[in-house]
Structure 1
Amino acid sequence: MSKTFADLVAFLASFSHDPYRFVLAAFPWGEGELAGKSGPDDWQRDVLNDIRDGLRTPDSVIREAVASGNGIGKAQRLTDVIDTPDGPRTWGDIRPGDYVFGSDGNATKVIQCRRYKSIPFYRVGFDDGAYLDVSSGHLWAVKGRNERRRGKDWRVMSTLDILQAGVTRKAGSNPHAKQWEIPIQGAAAYPAQAVDVPPYYLGVWIGDGGVGSSRYTKPYPEIQENLEALGLACNRCDGDVVYVHGMGAGLRSYGLLNLRSSERFIPDAYKYNKAEVRRDVLRGLMDTDGEVNKAGSLIYSTTSRQLADDVMWMARSLGGKARMQPTNKQGWYYKDGKRVDCRDCYRITMTLPFNPFSIKHRKERYKADIQHRYRARYIASIEPIGEYDGMCITVDNKDGLYQARDFIVTHNSAIVSWIIIWAMATHEDTRGVVTANTEAQLRAKTWAELSKWYRLFIAKDMFHFTATSIFCVQEGHERTWRVDAIPWSKDNPEAFAGLHNQGKRILMLFDEASAIYDEIWNVAEGAMTDSDTEIIWCAFGNPTRPQGKFYECFHGAKAMWHTRQIDSRNVKISNKQQLREWEEQYGEDSDFFKVHVRGIFPSASDNQLISRQLVDVALRRELEQKLYKFAPVIIGVDPAWTGGDMLAIVIRQGLYSKVLELIPKNDNDLAVGRKIAKYQDDYGATAVFIDMGYGTGIYSVGRDMGRSGWRLVSFAEVADSDEYANKRAEMWAEVKKWLEEGGSIDDEGLADELTGPEAYINRKGKLQLESKDEMKKRGLASPNMADALALTFAFPVHIDGSRNAKYRRARRNGKLRRVGTL
């Protein structure tokens, strides 16, 4: 090790147990990019000092969780219409479980929706004439001039980030040159559907077909050859006129046959069909009325405005770029010595990732090697349009991106970077892992921010920085002294299991931790077992969800974590005027203000059926026996679905409930049946309701034993009330009403499970509850205890004997609802 390198290591090592002083010493505050800045904000200083204080206790894992107010998320207007695999949908109607198109064009599932009231919106215009109305905090994956020239990856910027950086740039004499490129969208993968007319012929006829006839008029023999290759019978007569037999009925079925050229359109059955169908329609259109100019641009002309819009939409849906020319071409001709003006002609220019021609002379002019900059889409303008209600979504794909209207691809901190550099620079052979909610967030936001601070670091030459790691340049330490950016995967959580570094330092850092799968947290815990090792685990995020491991850091697991909740009103760079307006509009105790300003978890997520506040009250509630003893005793049994789940047995009597037992999944129905029978006898239960899914064997045991009151319940069966999608949704709604009316619970785990499932109004206008599989995809455990409690509301239960009089009297006095809450 050279003397200079050794001296630098020794200097930095003096800050080994003081990250705040390290940050002050390691970066050029007040100079260059940091001009006007003197160091961390107060809250950042406090977090760094929390780590310092934790290092003073040997052999203890430092766990620091920070929830911060996050302003407005990446929202779109509720009234927007977007294209989805199910056809056009109004944005505000999208629900978890629905599908949108991912950036690659394939269907991707919506796993979370979040709504906002009266937030500032901007209209983001693109160079092809498309636009999207989004919130100020909406995230975009973009490349600027620097990223394009240096071959760098996409970075994530908010709408305001782009506005502040400059939407366009000056290039020579052009003061408004393109600057921000967005990803080229993949071809939208609509499901296949049957059509009555071959797609290529449909395109040919729409372009040059005769009114009221299946003939077309065009001289090119390739068109007829293509149609005959499809098995169509064609006869050429009268020069360029070709009759195609047997197609009239199909054209009539789509309402096309008697339309003039200026009235034609592409039917929905072809637009919302697989890519091959759309390509063939477009090929027929381009073979008749398309052209290629010298620059290689593709042009389509039509007198139908609707058809022009359809062609533009079709090109974009196939991964192309299309724009309607700002001025219309108007033809004319002379008749009887007088000029006769023709209809306006709409012209679409486009670039496509495939050759859309089969006509030889046009096909040969197509340029497959057209420069990327002509295919890419660029942000052209950003203008404020006022305040509207909005919604953002989270999608279940690797990059977190989805296609919005007109197939625009859009997305799903400094202190994180300081902690990484401090941990690396002040302890030899530090090993660490950094992850985030999505790979896009990790690569384009978390790691991009680290790149900035690495560049400013006074000792950056000690380390080599790549797109996925930062490691020591000293020979022999490349593998032992490093931090890696690792995207998490619910299918491969073991990727986080191998982080051990006995006797040295380990750093585990979660960014946007609220959306990281629970199993990743569990696996990461296994790296916290090395003795005589400095172990630092930091989790940063926005308090958007009142459940999950990040939420637990501030609640059930609070004893293990040092936590801070950052109020934006106390942050130097926050917009204080905007925060005051939100406080006046929503109130300090509203969930909106809690999440976006105060850094406090909401009482309920936007789609949450049962709020945390409701179950917390129920958990603390103590009931006198006289309030429930007259009600029937009901047992609910929810068998385990998978090996990681538990069979749950819950008892309820009126407003009282108790978790009797949790049993690991097993196939011994006889033992479980006997156990339930004993509980029935011990508690005098009138009814036992068992989930049919995996409970038929248990039910059969009870029937063979001659037990009375046992009954199977199908979650999927029709609800008694029309307002619910199925029996499970109805039972859970009854649980919510029961809690509101004074129900009590006795188990923290049950409380967590009750707040887990989300609910929404489905397309039939009925309340739909999120399935167990959907919950697991969000990183939540199966709510077996909560489902067992819900089962106690499956059917009315009658009481007999001496209890009847007390029951009827209580009901008459309004102390109990009818059967639902017994």
Structure 2
Amino acid sequence: MKTQRTILSPSEFAWFQLGEKSLYDWQIECLEAIGLQGEGLAESLSVCSTGKSATARTGLPVAIAAANGSGKTAKVVAAAILWFLSRFPRGQVVVTSGSFRQVEKQLWPALRVHQKKFPAWTFLQTELKTPEGGFALGFSTDDPGRAEGWHPKIGSETDPVMIIVDEAKTVPDGVFEAFDRCTRVFQLWVSSPGKPWGQFYEAFHSLKKFFWTRKVRSDECPHIDPAKRARDLEKYGPDHPLYRSMHEAEFTEDAERLVLAPDRLAKALEGQPQPEEDGEVVAFLDFAAGRDENVLAVRRGNTVRIIKAWVEKDTMQAAREFVRLLKTEGIQPGQAWGDADGLGTVMIDAIAELGFYLNRFHGGQAASDPDEYANLIGEVWHVGATEIERGRINLGVLDPVTFKQISTRKSEWSENGKLRVESKDKMRAEGRHSPDRGDAVLGCIACGSRMSGAIRANSIHVPEANRDSFSNGLVTGW
């Protein structure tokens, strides 16, 4: 028995063939967005449910961030798979998740609910087969190699590939990159919101123009008890990351541990003060080698700008460029601070040989406020972030890289209960880049003459009249 090929759109298919007569508006929107990716593929199906001739693919890949318990797997992912194989019986569906339990215990049972409607199909534990050779295969992997090599064997009109990443927040970036090398026509990423970085997060931010996106709040899902929403709101408050993730579909997981969460940074940028460049001038140099960036940031008054960020493997070439930039910007030696940890010592020495002497900043040294902070770099990040959030710093139009670096570094507690920031090595291990631009921006905010050699959260904002003139030499306490 062959598959009865459908000409219905995905939501029509779910309604009429699967009997899903209680689809919510957002579920219909998402299913239709999935179907739009395939318009114009098969000549025999070129007249879609709207009655219009489809001659070219019009839809974007779909990314859905939905509140917990919204029904995204059972009502959207399962329906999309069954529709796809009914429309393209030789098609290939590849489904992965960060958890095999999600595939085995959530998605495949949702597919088997409709098993009797497809008597010619074979439903296995995590596989589905059609008589024509089409299939849906579910697996969980953190190995990008298993995510490669999915391509049509005949042609996109006959056996197109659909790739689905369920609970996408838990899937490593390498798996997404491997899927990018596949020849797929249909793509669906779906998950509850999670950490504010990674490929799923970027689909709603820096890569948003490449996706059709939908955030689904809990109040768009009538089956979710409003009393639970009210209880969680009373328990956690509207700004708590758990409430915002569960009910508002916002990427705020672990936000209570971020030095400056993305939503708070975005809000600060919307309300930043008018630029006032009269006043103190402070430069901060962050050094790197290889793929990390050398960065020069300068603060003039309340205005902070990144002058240049670039990759340079040759230490002396980088040193010469720093000196050139500092002189071009009119920076005096006493106004410039350089990260002296690691490679920084070599760079500062090289810059000194060129006749420009920097104040040495050692982030691992004791904080000037040791009662609160475990080390100096932790103090600089938290104090600098506070200055931004309180509307005292004008950052202008912040580029996406700098925005991401400032808003993805976490706070940590040391063994003795003092606040610090996570190490760069830990960030790299989690797939996040070294926050070189963030260090430079926050460094030039927190360093300078107004601290009189010390940083204190309650004294970093000093009236203009009380700021002392700073010319050159080392400031103590670093």
Q: Same fold (TM over 0.5)?
A: yes
Matched, 1:51 2:42: no
Partner-residue secondary structure (3-state), 2:15: helix
| Residues 545 and 716 of structure 1, relative CA distance in 2, 3 Å threshold | same
Tell me if structure 2 keeps the 8 A contact 1:715–1:727.
Answer: yes
Superposed, 1:321-340 pairs within 5 Å as none
Paired residue type of 2:308: E
Residue number in structure 1 paired with 2:67: 69
Residue number in structure 2 paired with 1:523: 178
Paired residue type of 1:421: L
Partner-residue secondary structure (3-state), 1:692: coil
Residue number in structure 2 paired with 1:601: 251
Residue number in structure 2 paired with 1:14: 7
Residue number in structure 2 paired with 1:371: none
Residue number in structure 2 paired with 1:763: 415
Pairwise CA distance, 1:588: 5.1
Identical aligned residues as a percent: 19
From 461, 464, 468, the counterpart of 1:810: 464
Tell me if structure 2 keeps the 8 A contact 1:638–1:788.
Answer: no
| Residues 786 and 698 of structure 1, relative CA distance in 2, 3 Å threshold | same
Distance 2:322 2:315 in 1: 10
From 434, 441, 445, the counterpart of 1:789: 441
From 737, 749, 753, the counterpart of 2:386: 737
Partner-residue secondary structure (3-state), 1:67: strand
Tell me if structure 1 keeps the 8 A contact 2:384–2:443.
Answer: no
Partner-residue secondary structure (3-state), 2:84: helix
Partner-residue secondary structure (3-state), 2:285: strand
Superposed, 1:95-494 pairs within 5 Å as 413-450=74-111, 452-453=112-113, 456-467=115-126, 469-474=127-132, 477=133, 481-489=134-142, 492-494=143-145
TM-score normalised by length of structure 1:
0.48
Residue number in structure 2 paired with 1:701: 350
| Residues 766 and 68 of structure 1, relative CA distance in 2, 3 Å threshold | same
Distance 2:98 2:272 in 1: 39
Residue number in structure 2 paired with 1:40: 23
Tell me if structure 2 keeps the 8 A contact 1:673–1:702.
Answer: yes
Pairwise CA distance, 1:71: 6.3
Pairwise CA distance, 1:473: 4.5
Distance 1:790 1:47 in 2: 41
Partner-residue secondary structure (3-state), 1:12: coil
Pairwise CA distance, 1:591: 4.3
Aligned length: 433
| Residues 422 and 809 of structure 1, relative CA distance in 2, 3 Å threshold | closer
Paired residue type of 1:19: P
From 276, 298, 304, the counterpart of 1:657: 304
Superposed, 1:658-697 pairs within 5 Å as 658-664=305-311, 666-685=312-331, 686-697=335-346
Residue deviations 1:723-758, cap 9 Å, x none?
Answer: 222222112112212213422323222111111122
| Residues 790 and 535 of structure 1, relative CA distance in 2, 3 Å threshold | same
Distance 1:522 1:68 in 2: 23
Residue number in structure 1 paired with 2:51: none
Tell me if structure 2 keeps the 8 A contact 1:435–1:487.
Answer: yes
Distance 2:69 2:122 in 1: 35
Unaligned runs of 5+ in 1: 30-36, 73-412, 801-806
Tell me if structure 2 keeps the 8 A contact 1:659–1:747.
Answer: no
Pairwise CA distance, 1:436: 1.7
Residue deviations 1:519-565, cap 9 Å, x none?
Answer: 333333333xx5xxx62221211223333332332233222221222
TM-score normalised by length of structure 2:
0.79
Paired residue type of 1:415: V
| Residues 464 and 753 of structure 1, relative CA distance in 2, 3 Å threshold | same
Partner-residue secondary structure (3-state), 2:286: strand
Tell me if structure 2 keeps the 8 A contact 1:635–1:687.
Answer: yes
Residue number in structure 2 paired with 1:720: 368
Distance 1:649 1:576 in 2: 51
Partner-residue secondary structure (3-state), 1:509: strand
Superposed, 1:554-633 pairs within 5 Å as 554-583=204-233, 591-602=241-252, 605-620=255-270, 624-625=274-275, 627-633=276-282
Residue number in structure 2 paired with 1:500: 151
Residue deviations 1:200-248, cap 9 Å, x none?
Answer: xxxxxxxxxxxxxxxxxxxxxxxxxxxxxxxxxxxxxxxxxxxxxxxxx
| Residues 687 and 568 of structure 1, relative CA distance in 2, 3 Å threshold | same
Distance 2:465 2:98 in 1: 50
Residue number in structure 1 paired with 2:53: none
Tell me if structure 2 keeps the 8 A contact 1:55–1:62.
Answer: no
Paired residue type of 2:63: A
Distance 1:511 1:684 in 2: 53
Partner-residue secondary structure (3-state), 1:40: coil
Paired residue type of 1:498: G
Pairwise CA distance, 1:811: 4.5
Residue number in structure 1 paired with 2:46: none
Tell me if structure 1 keeps the 8 A contact 2:61–2:186.
Answer: yes
Matched, 1:536 2:186: yes
Higher strand share: 1
Residue deviations 1:143-202, cap 9 Å, x none?
Answer: xxxxxxxxxxxxxxxxxxxxxxxxxxxxxxxxxxxxxxxxxxxxxxxxxxxxxxxxxxxx
Residue deviations 1:275-297, cap 9 Å, x none?
Answer: xxxxxxxxxxxxxxxxxxxxxxx
Distance 1:472 1:809 in 2: 74
Tell me if structure 2 keeps the 8 A contact 1:68–1:565.
Answer: yes
Distance 1:558 1:435 in 2: 22
Paired residue type of 2:107: T
